[in-house]
A and B are shown apart, each in its own frame.
Chain A
Amino acid sequence: MNKQMALFLAHSAELETEAQERYEELAESMREHRNIPVADFFRRMVDEAGRHLEEVAELAADMTLPDLKAWEFDWPDAEAPETTSYEALHYRMSLRQAMQLALDNERAARAYYSDYADNCEDVETAEVARSFAAEESSHVAELERLMAEQPADHPHLWEEDDDPHMPE
């Protein structure tokens, strides 16, 4: 068995699983807070990540992937590259801001796969990593197209009548 490939696919599967589960969490919490357009967008991203996860699973069908714990994966940052970080979220965020987050995630995933391909000694694994990078590129292009169609954000987007800073 190609050990390098198995390690790479374990990372790819985790990357897509983490992306999918975080989008799902965000879709649910945006729905709870009645931000339906953003909830629907994150739900769409759940399906996107799910499709890529299926492709990884297909490639790994005849392999035994290493069983790594959440903290044993080797990521360039604290979390897997396509996982939306908690810092930039707000229940009143616009669809445009949500798309920007997703775009940043796709770009991070593309950079991860292409760096992997550049630094991997196993030719077969490098080839798969490059094909994943190309796929992420197509997601980047699609999100850039969608964002170009979005109107600019209202300057006081996050303000509201019922300001949360209200203890008197």
Chain B
Amino acid sequence: MMQAIPLKARDFKSDVKPIWCPGCGHFSVLNAITKAMAALGIDKDDTVLVSGIGCSSRLPAYVDSYGFHGVHGRGLAIAQGLKVARPDLTVLALGGDGDGFSIGGNHFIHACRRNVNMTYIAMDNEVYGMTKGQASPTTPMDWDHSKLTPHGPGVRPFKPAALALASGAPWIGRGYSGNPNQIAKLIAEAVEFPGFSFLHVMSQCITFCPEQTDWKAVVSEMDGPPLADADAAAKQFLHEDGFQTGLLYREERPTWPPVGETAVDETALASLAASFSV
């Protein structure tokens, strides 16, 4: 639903002040979300942000909309359930690389496969920030800054875009925390896309990976339209350096709930609720 008086990005910020470290990339994602919400003219009351656990997963508290700070790795499960039950809502799930690709990895691949009409933002700093800097599934093999992995994790990091593609995600984008305006544009496109949209954001952890400030020098923007051919995309996502940003892949396929179906089936909902009553 569109609102009569257009709101500005700052109107979508809540009164809760972020406790992230100054310079944390997650601030940029917060700014981008509020800019995208303002640009889309989204109604706060019809928007829900769902997260797991981690520094990144604190984000819903900082946005003036409905939110659910869930269980570690389970944000996507909660968000999909919500969207299926309430197709009229705009649902965004978000969290970190630990939350989404470690403990929540199974939910991630199946969310890509199910193609529920919602957006998932993975704020990837290649580390578990909240628990003080342990390696995650996207940590480089030789990253030796944690005493738990003094010689680096020694295993190959996940490639989130390749994983999403192989699991069936029809919309794959990538942003970088140094460019919140580009992230905002990508979020706006992701929300408008009819299907599961996966936005991978390289979001620096200034405290445990200060070397990530070097990302600024290596990020690039993808030229031209997004890929629509899965074979070409697979080749690209397996061999790229991971620093190419923009809308990388887009494919139309049937989604749930079907496009245009936003009414809530109250009877079905009531009977489902009744079946759980004791």
Contacts and interface: CB of A to CB of B under 8 A. Distances in A.
- A and B form one complex: yes
Interface of A: 21, 25-26, 28-30, 32-33, 35, 67, 69-71, 73, 78-79, 85-91, 93, 164-168
B18 A165 contact: no
Interface string B17-32: 1111111110110010
Nearest to B19: A32
Given A87-B216, A167-B148, A71 B184 contact: yes
Contacts of A32: 17-19
Contacts of A78: 178-179, 181-182
Nearest to B128: A167
A59 to B, nearest CB: 20
A15 to B, nearest CB: 13
Given A29-B22, A86-B27, A90-B206, A165 B145 contact: yes
Contact of A90 (B22, B131, B180, B182): B22
Contacts of B132: 164, 166-167
Given A71-B182, A165-B146, A89 B10 contact: no
Contacts of B28: 86
Given A26-B22, A164-B133, A70 B145 contact: no
Given A69-B185, A71-B181, A164-B132, 10 more contacts: A25-B27, A26-B22, A33-B21, A35-B22, A69-B184, A79-B181, A87-B204, A91-B23, A167-B131, A167-B146
A70 B184 contact: yes
B177 A167 contact: no
A14 to B, nearest CB: 10
Interface string B165-196: 00000000000011111101100100000000
Contacts of B146: 165, 167
Contacts of B20: 29
Interface residues of B, number: 41
B36 to A, nearest CB: 8
B133 A69 contact: no
Report whether over half of chain B's contact residues are helix, strand or loop; otherwise say mixed: loop
Nearest to A164: B207
Contact of A28 (B17, B24, B182): B17
A87 B6 CA distance: 32
B147 A86 contact: no
Contacts of A79: 179-181
Contacts of A28: 17-18
29 contacts: A21-B9, A25-B27, A25-B31, A28-B17, A29-B17, A29-B20, A29-B21, A29-B22, A67-B6, A69-B184, A69-B185, A69-B188, A70-B39, A70-B185, A71-B182, A71-B184, A78-B178, A78-B179, A86-B25, A86-B28, A86-B178, A87-B178, A88-B23, A89-B23, A90-B22, A165-B145, A165-B146, A165-B208, A167-B148
Contacts of B65: none
Contacts of B188: 69
B35 interface: yes
> What are the 6 closest A-B residue pairs judged by CB atoms, nearest first?
A89-B23, A71-B185, A78-B179, A70-B35, A87-B213, A69-B39
A25 B23 CA distance: 10
Contact of A89 (B6, B134, B206, B208): B206
B208 A164 contact: yes
Contacts of B39: 69-70
A29 B18 contact: yes
Contacts of B204: 86-87
A167 B38 CA distance: 40
